[in-house]
Structure 1
Amino acid sequence: MNVASGTFGTWHETATNIHLALMAGALDGLGYGRSLGRYIAEDGANVPGAEALAQSIAAEPGHPLTAARADLLQALREGRVSSGRVAIEHRWKQASILASAWKHGVPMTVHPGIGYDIISNHPIFSGSVIGRAGELDFKLFGGSVEGLDGGVVLSVGSAIMGPQVFEKSLSCVNNMRLQSGRQIVQGHHIYVVDLQDGGGWDWTKGEPPKTNAAYYLRFCKSFSRMGAPMHYLQSDNAAFVHHLAHALQNA
């Protein structure tokens, strides 16, 4: 097994290309989702040379991009990536959600964790690169939540990350609105889809008591607290997405 041989979590192609995309994207202020989307859509990235990066860092040490430049400079000096045009053909980019989002200007975000992906043990792995990209995407996600009034939240198949990211983002947006004398986000509706049965609870009535097992379903409980009607549908996630796409195409 890969764990017994000490090689699990060291996927080279995946780790190298994700980090290259994120490091190149960070130089343009892009987060995780948009960096990967551009990398796929444009079949690679342009990487500046080590000398140019070092000069930029020395000339503007307080620049907002200095840390991102330093991460890329270190990767270049360690031989993890190469400067110049790095071409990676993506033959099926038309099927990529990330590439399509980049192409159409849709704010696609990715919310990473540190240590649980198949790239975490690879020598190129950088918590600062991953963390920076995730921070930018959390802010980008918050920008969408800022415009949520009267809108719809659709969560499909995310038991933990989806509700938790939305919860923190909505709280942040509401906090900033209240500080500026504005009303909190309102008038939105939340729809949650997952394989589980929702605990047999009618979530349109609010959350169940702690004595009910359904209370501990995070993907339902968190969303039910987000200041809007929450509707739950038990469904195969892939089947739901296919039916939704079909319905939208024929609407």
Structure 2
Amino acid sequence: MPFEQFDRSRLRMLPLSQRVHDLDLSAILDPDTHKIGFRHPTIDLLSDRIIAAREKGAAVLMMMGAHVIRAGTAPYLLRLMEKGLITHFALNGAGSIHDFEFAEIGATTESVARYISEGQFGLWTEDAHHNEAVNQGAAEGLGFGEAIGKYIEENKFPYRQHSLCAGGYRMQVPVTVHVGVGCDIVHEHPNCDGAAIGKASYTDFLIYAKTVENLENGVFLNFGSAVIGPEVYLKALAMARNVARQEGRSINHFTTAVFDLHALEGLDINEAPPKTDARYYFRPWKTIMARTVADGGEGYYVQGNHGDTVPALAAKLLAAGKNFK
């Protein structure tokens, strides 16, 4: 039987000019002036592994949660993209929204506590442009990330130089977006098309899986994505290994690294904790650092804020002076 659905035409939308933003362009880090104080021995190891992977033509895939974009690290990511040091960037839906808002208005992030109480959380008129981008891109057969980047570039957003999605579109480097329907503020909007989101994000999943096919001797990095990152990676790796086995190949010898805030120092991260341990349910540990590298790979962990760890890794890589483009 048909169930009643929420009528989105009843929503009151307000312009972004009335929203109090927690972040503006002052949060964007300038690699030429930003002072890097973060140090971790694994950074040096990972830099060497990434350069070795690129010298072999293997994939270096960086998955990230939205806080990486909010930390203002896009200029560092764009430089890694320009040099061909990272071959694929992957975001969740929220990451693409922060990237989009920074490019369009030079600000992002609202107070959930304030605006959920007012019934206004996420209901800002200009964010409908994000849906327009996806709807148009899906109709053209584009993936989600490419659709966002194309829209930002073609509409000449004033701060597009800070956009990772726009950079990927310009440089033809995949920036894929992996969406959980109902998780993002733009899903509240009347112009949200679930079919377009599903089509575009699934196209990105297949692009992502194709990159994972080239992960042998490569590197997989996960910055702060606790659920989407490990789960998308796990399914894509299963697909890639299935085909590789049929072709007499293997995808076993690669490096993974998780960058997050959990205190895991001194623990054996290459062994998944038992189900009786609450840390078993921290997917990056069991999936990225243990199970998927158990057949010849290596997993590492770096604890720190993304505003510290991303610049530290990027600076080390860029200092090597390698260019793979």
TM range (shorter): 0.7 to 0.9
> Contact between 2:153 and 2:160, CA under 8 Å: does it hold in 1?
yes
> Identity of counterpart residues, as a percentage?
36
The TM-score with structure 1 as length reference comes to: 0.75
> Contact between 1:199 and 1:213, CA under 8 Å: does it hold in 2?
no
Structure with max Cα Rg: 1
The separation in 2 between residues aligned to 1:134 and 1:32, in whole angstroms, is 5
Listed as ranges, the matches of 1:184-223 within 5 Å are 184-198=250-264, 201-204=267-270, 206-223=271-288
The separation in 2 between residues aligned to 1:188 and 1:42, in whole angstroms, is 38
The separation in 2 between residues aligned to 1:164 and 1:220, in whole angstroms, is 12
Aligned to 1:80: none
Listed as ranges, the matches of 1:43-58 within 5 Å are 43=155
Query: How big is the shift at 1:103?
Result: 1.0
The separation in 2 between residues aligned to 1:229 and 1:249, in whole angstroms, is 23
**Gaps (5+ residues) in structure 1?**
44-88
Aligned residue type for 2:292: M
Query: How big is the shift at 1:106?
Result: 0.8
Larger relative contact order (Cα-Cα within 8 Å, sequence gap ≥ 6): 2
The separation in 1 between residues aligned to 2:223 and 2:117, in whole angstroms, is 35
Write out per-residue CA displacement over residues 8-67 of structure 1, whole angstroms, 9 at most, x where no aligned residue: 3433211x2112211222233211101111111222xxxxxxxxxxxxxxxxxxxxxxxx
Query: How big is the shift at 1:114?
Result: 0.9
Structure 1 residues 4, 142: CA separation in 2 closer, same or farther (over 3 Å shift)? Answer: same
The separation in 2 between residues aligned to 1:19 and 1:95, in whole angstroms, is 20
The separation in 2 between residues aligned to 1:231 and 1:199, in whole angstroms, is 11
1:12 matched to 2:125: yes
Aligned residue type for 1:109: T
Aligned to 2:226: 159
Aligned to 2:214: 147
**Comparing 153-162 and 240-249, the one that deviates more:** 240-249
Query: How big is the shift at 1:198?
Result: 2.6
Aligned residue type for 1:190: T
Question: C-alpha root-mean-square deviation of aligned residues, in Å?
Answer: 1.9
Number of equivalenced pairs: 203
